[in-house]
Structure 1
Amino acid sequence: MVWKDSLSVGIELIDSEHKELIRAVNELFDACMHGKGRAKISETVTFVEDYTVKHFGDEEKLQKEYKYPDYPAHHQLHQTFVNDLKSYKAQLEKDGPTVQLVAKFNTFVSTWLIKHISVEDKKIGVYIRSIEKK
């Protein structure tokens, strides 16, 4: 995954946190390319789980502060991601770091992040910037 300016939501804190999430996912991709994905997945799942607590908290705080009208729906998207992440973690604990799990997790987290940032989080940036211009 490559950070592009087109992914920027225009809020420095949120953009920097998105870059950090993408960096962690890229480390897992890189490990996979070197045959070490199974050894790296547990660390990555734990990092993403921990970091999304911070990131979603920061993002939702901004939404509340600016009275973002789609906050309830956005919060639900975050909760769904957290629940899906817990399922991956449970599967990892149950079955261990299988090649299939690593591949499924890579696809899940990279697809979700890009779609969520480029669609949902962009809406937040547009909304906040429109409020700040007033």
Structure 2
Amino acid sequence: MADHDPIIWDNTLVTGIDIIDEQHRILVNTLNDANAKLTTDVGAAFLEQITHDLLGYALYHFETEEELMHEYGYGQDHPGDADTHTRQHREFSAKVVAARESLKKGQPISRTELLAFLNGWLVNHILNTDKQLAAFLLASAQYRQKHAHTD
């Protein structure tokens, strides 16, 4: 049985940047699916597969955000925020890699703690860090001009 309530996708999680919102939806669905499938008797191999899949998609998503940050000058205009954003991506990745390494070494990890971390991190990152980036992009004349017909 699931330990955590599923993350409900609603307007509070919408950044207004279509590509980011689409990828966030996939991450939310992936975490909700993992929570539903991770029962107390699940084996390490299943946990390892979930962390592998999640990390792979998260890295793809982080690359998307970081390309947008670079393309529209977020680091030049808001260097502290850009550094924090990138650092959060690296810290998330390192934590998931560490969990995977523990599993590969046969060291159990708490599925409850893992899910609490993943769910909490994602929601917090979207509501704070990603929304800051989105506000910057939406205020950028260059971004608005390029995406006027696609958003």
Aligned to 2:31: 25
Point out where structure 2 has 5 or more consecutive residues left out of the alignment.
1-6, 146-151
Q: How does 1:27-66 map to 2 (within 5 A)?
A: 27-32=33-38, 37-38=42-43, 40-66=46-72
Aligned to 1:112: 121
Matched residue count: 131
Query: Are 2:101 and 1:90 equivalent residues in the alignment?
Result: yes
CA contact (8 A) 1:28 1:40 kept: no
Runs of 4+ with deviation above 3 angstroms: 35-40
Which of the pair is proportionally richer in helix?
A: 1
Q: Whose radius of gyration is greater, 1 or 2? A: 2
For residues 13-34 of structure 1, give each alpha carbon's deviation from its aligned partner in whole angstroms, at most 9, with x where no partner exists: 101111111111111111136x
TM-score by length of 2: 0.79
Q: How many Å separate the matches in 2 of 1:21 and 1:121?
A: 14
TM-score by length of 1: 0.88
Q: Which one has more relative contact order, counting CA pairs under 8 Å at least 6 apart?
A: 1
Give me the CA root mean square deviation: 1.9
CA contact (8 A) 1:28 1:37 kept: no
Point out where structure 1 has 5 or more consecutive residues left out of the alignment.
none
Of all paired residues, the percent bearing the same amino acid is: 24
